[in-house]
Amino acid sequence: MDSASPPYPPPAQASAAEASGASNASLRWRILRRALLARSASTSRAPGPHRFLPLLLSLLASAATYSIISHGDSSSRNENIVECHNDVCVCYKLPCEGSRKLNLVYRREDSLELNDIVASNRYNIDTTGLVCCWPSEEVLAYYCINHSDMFRSKKVLELGSGYGLAGLAIAASTDADEVVISDGNPQNISINTETFGQTKVNSMVLHWDVEQASEMNSSFDIIVASDCTFFKQFHQSLVRVVKSLLKPSETSQAIFLSPKRGDSLSKFLEVIKKNGLTCELIEKYDPTVWNMHKKYVSGDNRSWPNYNEEHCYPLLIRIINTQFYVLCYENDPAPARIASYLHRLIIES
């Protein structure tokens, strides 16, 4: 939670019995709910939790992104797309050749209910990606659009996609062979099929703590994800998914964008290394995003008043499946050294 947010009474600590009986993902929502109730106690004697979901959004993300991909409400022009009165259609104009557009259906901020996040309790998953478009998601989409060549003829998986902006942007702006949106909104795929060209786009439910079908193992060239490293209890299962699904190839890689958020990101990097993968942490990966970040930090740009570097600025983590180099070395160490050198050229380009 942003340290620059207005102060409010701290929530009561969960009891030991309560904590042991709650799922890891639902615990965060319960704590946030208590914070909302505590903060609103002075304005309502009997507050209903559903009334404070808009406040939840402001506490989680300060209702701000980098706004590097232009977008706006297009519900009035797409009444046939919006099936529920609680939803809104947002049109993103992608900064790529042809200025392609994506229509994404979101839940209106003033219509969110606790039922919208019930999956946290039922499936022990983090559903915070389903309440708004997070800064890291927007930046990941922007980064992928500006590095479209890396996706040519590749099979791509987006993990924890939420509304799927990054994965759908890859499908719409690159020549990827296939893009799979996991844990996202299938409706956002169906309403954009004409934008994807020859790229196949599919959706699937993928629980990180469940063993995947054998045919999925080592099947993806590139895996992308944004803001998926906050919960430390998911680190091991998330890394396991990356390791099992990423192809053992010199061009295969996973691209994650996540803020530091205390020690959560550093702990995630430790888990990566413990599982035999290699990673690279990059602070300056895009000049536009970096310049905006520096202006927010210095105060030269005040359009994001609650901006906090640790919670808002996403760092880029590039993960490599070292199994490829092990296989090369077992056959011939010389090609392995050559492959390692070529791969360094690829990731540094």
Output the pLDDT for position 116.
55
Residue 13 lies in a domain: no
For tokens 């906090």, what's the residue?
Answer: 308
Q: Residue 10 to residues 3, 18, 34, 86, 308: CA-CA distances in angstroms? A: 13, 18, 8, 31, 20
**Structure tokens belonging to residue 67:** 């706004």
**Structure tokens belonging to residue 55:** 């406040």
Determine how β-strand 178-182 pairs with β-strand 155-159: parallel
Residue 121 lies in a domain: no
Residues 250, 252, 257, 263: what is their CA dihedral angle, to the nearest 10 degrees?
Answer: -60
pLDDT in tens, 32-51: 555 445 544 544 444 444 44
Output the pLDDT for position 25.
45
CATH of residue 162's domain is 3.40.50.150
> Global pTM?
0.76
How many domains are contained in the chain? 1
Supply the DSSP symbol for 132: S
Output the pLDDT for position 335.
56
Residue 342 lies in a domain: yes
Residue 198 lies in a domain: yes
Residue 183 lies in a domain: yes
Output the pLDDT for position 113.
58
pLDDT in tens, 164-196: 999 999 999 999 999 999 986 787 898 999 999
Q: Which residues contact 194 (CB under 8 A, 6 or more apart)?
A: none
- Confidence class for position 275, pLDDT limits 50, 70, 90: very high
Cα gap 74→48, rounded to integer Å: 31
Residue 290 lies in a domain: yes
Output the pLDDT for position 288.
97
Greater confidence, 83 or 230?
230
Range of the domain at 174: 130-348
- Does the structure show a pLDDT above 80 at 104? yes
Residue 258: helix, strand or coil by DSSP?
A: strand
Q: Count the alpha carbons within 13 Å of 204 in the hemisphere toward its beta carbon.
A: 14
Of the candidates 185, 229, 178, 227, the one whose C-alpha atom is nearest the C-alpha of residue 205 is: 185
Cα gap 270→239, rounded to integer Å: 10
- Confidence class for position 59, pLDDT limits 50, 70, 90: very low
**Structure tokens belonging to residue 77:** 């022009």
- Does the structure show a pLDDT above 60 at 312? yes
- Confidence class for position 281, pLDDT limits 50, 70, 90: very high
Residue 254 lies in a domain: yes
The rounded mean pLDDT for the chain is: 77
Residue 182 lies in a domain: yes
Cα gap 75→234, rounded to integer Å: 36
- Does the structure show a pLDDT above 60 at 119? no
Cα gap 324→39, rounded to integer Å: 52
Output the pLDDT for position 114.
58
For tokens 């309502």, what's the residue?
Answer: 44
- Does the structure show a pLDDT above 80 at 308? yes
Other CB atoms closer than 10 Å to residue 319's CB: what's the count? Answer: 23
